[in-house]
Amino acid sequence: MTDRTINSERPGQKLGLLMCVALGMGNMIGSGVFLLPRDLAPLGWNAVIGWGVSIAGTLCLAVVFARLAKRLPEGCAAFTYGAAAFGPGTGFIVAWSYWISCWTVVATLAVAAISNMSILMPWLGEQGAAPAWIAIGCIWFFTLVNLFGVRRAGGAQLLTLGLKLIPVIGAVIVGVWALGSGAAPPPTMAGTEPVSLSGVSSAATLTLFALLGFESACVVSDRVKDPERTVPRATIIAAAAVGLLYLLSCTTVTLLVPLDVLHQSNAAYATFFGRLVSPAAGDIVALFAAIAALGALNGFVLLQGDIPRDLAHRRLLPPAFGRDNDYASPWVTQLVSSGLASLIVYANYSRGLADLFAFMVKVTTSTAIILYIVGSLAALVLERRGTLKVSAGFAAATIAGFFYSCWAFYGAGLEASAWSLLMTAAGLPIYLLMRASAPARREEAPVA
């Protein structure tokens, strides 16, 4: 094993635009969209409006992060954006919280993959040690992929993205065909909730988890070729493309499958294809949904390794966390992060798949949102200082993104928000200890 500095990767180990877009889209298209129609269907038109609210809020945040990425291209966005505006302490706490969200989402996606595979193999849905060990095995398989370098991880992301787009785009195509040929009855909102502020709020909170990850390219800026241009473009493309696909695809499934059928389904897309195409198509789509979760798991394993690596190079974590192997992969950090994710899966599997997934979604969402809140505030502060030149439209998008993030954090619920704040606060003693133990070597925040 060898130590490397932050920017010492060989050119072949860098990510280009296509892989950055695949990283963002792949991390966004995980398990959420395949599980959401069942919960969104009773909300009727509230669900469609909720998608619009979430997509608009996400696009505002994507614009903010794209501009910050162009101005602050070096280092991990989870640290640099907060540190540039508020100092290294804030940068550390935000990076710490985002790191927690990464390995908790790794655990969540492993559970979601097993949940989807249980449609084909029902015994996987039973409580017990065997499903837990299979989920943990998925975590360590993709950890191994990432240990062989960022390019191999990027290649796996491209492959799984292509596979997971098949049911998402296919649902829209099948829906258009079914309506045109009369194979499906005209969509109706009978029996759903009337449009209301509370209904829209509930729908938007549910859809938020499916949109997490648009900032993935920003988090691995040091692994990207020409980050000043590549990262902003990849961020906007990923957020816009996935937002549009979600709105069309999920709404199609929600409208064309009867409400009572969706309510009893644990795999809405599989049910949709099974009813309108064939039962065999439904089984195949269940497999694709599992692949979608595993592809997103691969992307978040990449992120979970780079955040502590960046902090270690800033002397804010022990040097071991910055240690790379011969493939420029932070092997110590990957082992620690995947170990924590594995512990979560094994220790909580007694909850059952559905309860564990619901709890982990809320914790992951509320922890990740801390980066969005601080990133929006950082953009406003840097604009006020004159270091970030912006237009009135950008300022409006930033303010909208900030309020959307705060509202989403509140919508995650008291228990999940409390857990996220508690785990984030646990990093403060580590930061103070590192600052006190090596004051002569500490790095200040990057100059904006």
**Band of residue 124 on the pLDDT scale cut at 50, 70, 90:** low
At residue 323, the 3 state secondary structure works out as strand
pLDDT value at residue 448: 39
CA pair distance 92, 399, nearest whole angstrom:
23
Residue type, 133: W
What are the structural domain ranges in the chain?
17-437
CA angle 180, 185, 189 (to 5 degrees): 120
pLDDT value at residue 299: 85
Higher pLDDT, 318 or 180: 318
Pair 87, 240: CB distance under 8 Å: no
Cβ within 8 Å of residue 240, ≥6 positions away: 59, 62
Cβ within 8 Å of residue 150, ≥6 positions away: 9, 13, 14, 15, 220, 223, 302, 328, 329
Residue with token string 């920017």: 7
Least confident interval from 191-195, 355-359, 435-439? 355-359
85-109 pLDDT per residue, tens? 999 999 999 999 999 988 888 888 8
pLDDT value at residue 354: 52
pLDDT value at residue 172: 92
**What is the percentage of the chain residues whose pLDDT exceeds 90?**
23
pTM of the predicted model as reported, rounded to 2 decimal places: 0.84
Pair 303, 26: CB distance under 8 Å: no
Residue 177 has pLDDT above 70, yes or no: yes
Residue with token string 């932050």: 6
Q: Read off the tokens for 278.
A: 């064939």
Higher pLDDT, 351 or 242: 242
- Mean pLDDT in the chain? 82
Q: Looking at the domain covering 17-437, what would its CATH class be?
A: mainly alpha
Residue 273 has pLDDT above 80, yes or no: yes
Residue with token string 């999920």: 250
DSSP 227-263: HHHHHHHHHHHHHHHHHHHHHHHHHHHHHHS-HHHHH
**Band of residue 258 on the pLDDT scale cut at 50, 70, 90:** confident
Q: Read off the tokens for 445.
A: 């925040």
Cβ within 8 Å of residue 295, ≥6 positions away: 26, 29, 30, 156, 157, 159, 160, 161, 163, 164
Average pLDDT, integer, range 143-167? 84
